[in-house]
Amino acid sequence: MTSLLEQLIPQLLDPQAKDLAETVQWWVLPELEIEDPFPVAVLGEGPPLLLLHGFDSSFLEFRRLAPLLATRHRLFIPDLFGFGFSPRPRTTRFGPQAVLQHLELLLQRLPQDQPLALIGASMGGAVAMDLARRCPSRVNALLLLAPAGLSGRPMPLPPLLDRLGVWFLSRPGVRLGLCRQAFADPEASVGPAEEQIASLHLQSPGWAEALAGFARSGGFAGCGAPLPPQPLHVIWGDQDRILRPALKQAVLDLLQQPVETFDGCGHLPHLDHPQQVAERWFRLSDQTSFAGTD
């Protein structure tokens, strides 16, 4: 049976998104007791590198960064559980524990003879922190791009409010506004291709139910402490309109080390400045330890 993603690939306006979508493999994870397979983009050669996208997004978020990193790494880019184009059975509970369980099962299928590095963007940064603590012997380094969810505490939405929030996020005008807010220069950066990718996964069956369930769980929050033992580096943009100053200060207080700031960059360094992110990662990964570098 042809998946929704495979049906949508010919419609993609962004050539890099189309190229990345065509690398997707469909992995069956019987331990989850879900018959439908899960999408994982797999490309490149070299040491394994796992990329984790942000809230209500998909693996396509890494369309500009992936081809750069693939010159030196074997990339594995899954849709997080309950997000993107992943299956969403109605009987499944959605939330942080399900996301992490799914990733731990994926890790069991990755090369076991090489250390694994993580790159997490926005909420994916919080996911990366949790995963690194859970799997200290597998993960050897982390790069977080404008991480969200490191501070604070979970705030579950009660029934009705969760549905209202999902309805709000489904409005085309809201999605366009959030997409524009994420870039440093929306007038130059946001066009039909970006608008399409920001909303394409909403066509996935069960999108609204899964997102409401995730909201009821409280999501990822307070994931910055305790810090994982692996080398850690954080990048964010000087024009990030998603991470407000109070959130940034809370992250600084948790990390107790410098954070690198990219000029002319919004909440998506991997989209605003993919070449700079890739070059920075290559420099960091060549070091045995890069905690506290600037």
Give residue-wise pLDDT tens across range 26-70: 999 999 999 999 999 999 999 999 999 999 999 999 999 999 999
* Mean pLDDT of all residues in 222-248: 95
**pLDDT at residue 27 in the model:** 97
Domain of residue 234, CATH code: 3.40.50.1820
* Assigned domain for 292 exists: no
Q: How far apart are CA 64 and CA 15, in angstroms?
A: 10
Q: Output the average pLDDT for the chain.
A: 95
Judge whether residue 223 has pLDDT over 50.
Answer: yes
Domain range spanning residue 85?
4-285
Contact at 8 Å (CB) between 150 and 251? Answer: yes
Is residue 226 a contact partner of residue 256, using CB atoms and an 8 Å limit?
Answer: no
Residue 145: helix, strand or coil by DSSP? Answer: strand
**Amino acid identity at 190:** V
With bands split at pLDDT 50, 70 and 90, how would you rate the model's confidence at 121? very high
Query: What pLDDT band is residue 256 in, cutting at 50, 70 and 90?
Result: confident
Report residue 294's pLDDT band, with 50, 70 and 90 as the boundaries: very low
Question: Do 220 and 96 contact (CB within 8 A), yes or no?
Answer: yes
Angle at Cα 274 formed by Cα 272 and Cα 276, nearest 5°?
A: 105
Share of the chain above pLDDT 90, in %: 90
pLDDT given for residue 258 in this prediction: 85
**Which residues, 6 or more positions from 272, have their beta carbon under 8 angstroms from its beta carbon?**
183, 184, 189, 237, 262, 264, 265, 266
pLDDT of residue 290: 55
- 291 domain residue, yes or no: no
> CB-based burial of residue 187 (10 Å sphere; 0-12 exposed, 13-18 middle, 19+ buried)?
exposed
Residue among 151, 148, 116, 119 nearest 135 (CA): 116
The total number of structural domains in the chain stands at 1
Instruction: Provide the pLDDT confidence category of residue 91 given band limits of 50, 70 and 90.
Output: confident
User: Is the full-model pTM beyond 0.75?
Assistant: yes
Is pLDDT of 1 > 90? no
In a domain, 213, yes or no: yes
Q: Is residue 116 part of a domain?
A: yes
From CA 220, how far away is CA 195, in angstroms rounded? 25
Rounded percentage of the chain residues whose pLDDT exceeds 70: 97
Euclidean distance between CA atoms 207 and 161, whole angstroms: 16
User: Residue 294: inside a domain, yes or no?
Assistant: no
Phi, psi at 191, each rounded to 5°: -135, -165
- pLDDT bin (cut points 50, 70, 90) of residue 257 is confident
Query: How do 74-78 and 116-121 pair as beta strands?
Result: unpaired
Query: How does residue 288 score in pLDDT terms, banded at 50, 70 and 90?
Result: low
Q: Is residue 159 part of a domain?
A: yes
Average pLDDT over residues 210-238: 96
Task: Give me the amino acid identity at 34.
Answer: I
Residue 135 lies in a domain: yes
Instruction: Give domain status of residue 162, yes or no.
Output: yes
